[in-house]
Amino acid sequence: MQDFFELLVSAVSTGCIYGLVALAYLLIARPTGIINFAVGEWAALGGFAGYLALSKFELPYAVGMAAVVIFMFFAGWATERTVVRPLIERHAPPLAPVLVLLGMLVVFRESLSLGFGPDPYSVPAGLGFGRFEFGLFAGAYQSLFIIATALTIFAAAWLFFERSLTGKSFAAVAIDRRVAALMGINLGRVTSMSFAGGAVVAGMAGLLSAPTTSVHYMMGLPLAIQGFTALVIGGANRVAGALFGGLLLALVEQLTIRYLPIAAGLSMGVPLIVLIVFLLVKPEGLLGLRKERA
């Protein structure tokens, strides 16, 4: 029984990582309609930025985390300004930004490969590498740190969309871009902020997962698949759905690895199978699609 509860703690922390990547997808897709499959590489970029700040330069963890946030904000902002906005201004087909961002995925990955090589790098944990035990629940301190940080980010995202005027402008753009522009909403600024926010959240997912998985230039692909699957499971435009989908996916993944007679390397197929099942059976996700209100 204790083994199951320890697995549960691990699944919740892993699910929070998947949920953060799903939230990065959502922050961009909700106001723009663009699915940015490069968020996995943004997570890898955040992990490597954490390695430089915390391991290479040995900054205090809080300072290093702030440095990663600032760096990822400008990485997302620059991506939108240089490769996405020109397409939007030229009225390119809706598929064009998705394709160019797939190209950026390769650019980010190969840049990390050339800059850091194929070797994995270790990153310090936010609360150290100790373990806690509370009744039947047990796990690493890093798991608690991941859960607390992710819940804080999700709470901030929910408050932003539901309680702030700027968040309401994001919702207005999601309903009708042309009408939102006529109402005085700056579409370019909304798009830039959505990409910058998505990059920050994805970078935090990479930073938080780095101490337990290490950072390497190929770490973005599985996170991109798992995050997208979590988004589909929970509901493609719901903040709570991103978290719920990530938790459910991680639980299914962990139970499959622990209790079914399959090799750990085959666990990559679990999110793909879950993704196919939900797309066929319940494509709107467990929480359904949110109906935006004007």
User: Which comes out higher in pLDDT, residue 23 or 163?
Assistant: 23
Instruction: Provide the residue range defining the domain that includes 72.
Output: 2-127+140-219
Give the mean pLDDT of 175-187.
80
Give the mean pLDDT of 29-38.
89
In a domain, 92, yes or no: yes
In a domain, 259, yes or no: no
Tokens of 275: 């993704």
In a domain, 233, yes or no: no
Give the mean pLDDT of 169-190.
80
In a domain, 68, yes or no: yes
Give the mean pLDDT of 1-21.
85
Over the chain, what is the mean pLDDT?
87
Per-residue confidence at 294, pLDDT binned at 50, 70, 90? very low
In sequence order, what are the residues at sequence separation of 6 or more whose Cβ sits closer than 8 angstroms to the Cβ of residue 265? Answer: none
* pLDDT surpasses 50 at 13: yes
In a domain, 239, yes or no: no
Per-residue confidence at 255, pLDDT binned at 50, 70, 90? confident
In a domain, 246, yes or no: no
pLDDT tens for each residue of 40-80? 999 999 999 999 999 999 999 999 999 999 999 999 999 99
Q: According to the model, what pLDDT value does residue 266 have?
A: 67
In a domain, 15, yes or no: yes
* pLDDT surpasses 70 at 146: yes
The tally of domains found in the chain comes to 1
Nearest by Cα to 112 from 78, 75, 143, 144: 75
Q: Is the dihedral of CA 72, 78, 84, 89 positive or negative?
A: positive
Full-model pTM: 0.91
Distance CA 29, CA 247 (A): 21
Q: According to the model, what pLDDT value does residue 164 have?
A: 84
Give the mean pLDDT of 131-138.
70
- The three-state DSSP-derived secondary structure of the chain is CHHHHHHHHHHHHHHHHHHHHHHHHHHHHHHHCCCCCCHHHHHHHHHHHHHHHHHHCCCCHHHHHHHHHHHHHHHHHHHHHHHHHHHHHCCCCCHHHHHHHHHHHHHHHHHHHHHHCCCCECCCCCCCCCEEEECCEEEEHHHHHHHHHHHHHHHHHHHHHHHCHHHHHHHHHHHCHHHHHHCCCCHHHHHHHHHHHHHHHHHHHHHHHHHHHCECCCCHHHHHHHHHHHHHHHCCCCHHHHHHHHHHHHHHHHHHHHHCCCCHHHHHHHHHHHHHHHHHHCCCCCCCCCCCCC
Pairing verdict, β 137-140 and 131-134? antiparallel
Per-residue confidence at 287, pLDDT binned at 50, 70, 90? confident
In a domain, 278, yes or no: no
Percent of the chain with pLDDT over 90: 54
Give the mean pLDDT of 33-41.
92
